[in-house]
Structure 1
């Protein structure tokens, strides 16, 4: 089962992630938050949202 990116994620962050081929939380987990935290549009709020979503989906420690 794949987990979509959180609906609460701001549009610029979603565009930045999708621009890197990250469409699901599994895609993100395979690359890690470090790989996306410097993308334009992915700020501290988006990182916090993504970290929580990964944890809730059981995709991070």
Structure 2
């Protein structure tokens, strides 16, 4: 969905509530999550353990991780 103002590159498996929470927090790119800890992301309303797992796997696939991991 390039061109849409709410577009992001987070995996769809993370779920729409989690993706929306990340966008609302100003994150639209997976690489931006490297500046945040998993606990900080988990604290966002709409982000649960499944989303953290999915995001962690997506980060790892790119050779990245949450801050402090």
Q: Which interval holds the TM-score relative to the shorter structure?
A: 0.7 to 0.9
1:7 pairs, out of 8, 12, 35, with: 12
- Structure 2: unaligned runs, 5 residues or longer: 1-7
Structure with the bigger RCO (C-alpha within 8 Å, sep 6+) is 1
1:51 pairs, out of 51, 56, 65, with: 56
Structure 2 residue 31 is the aligned partner of structure 1 residue 26: yes
If you compute each CA radius of gyration, which structure gives the higher value, 1 or 2?
Answer: 2
- Structure 1: unaligned runs, 5 residues or longer: none
What is the TM-score when the length of structure 1 is the normalising length?
A: 0.83
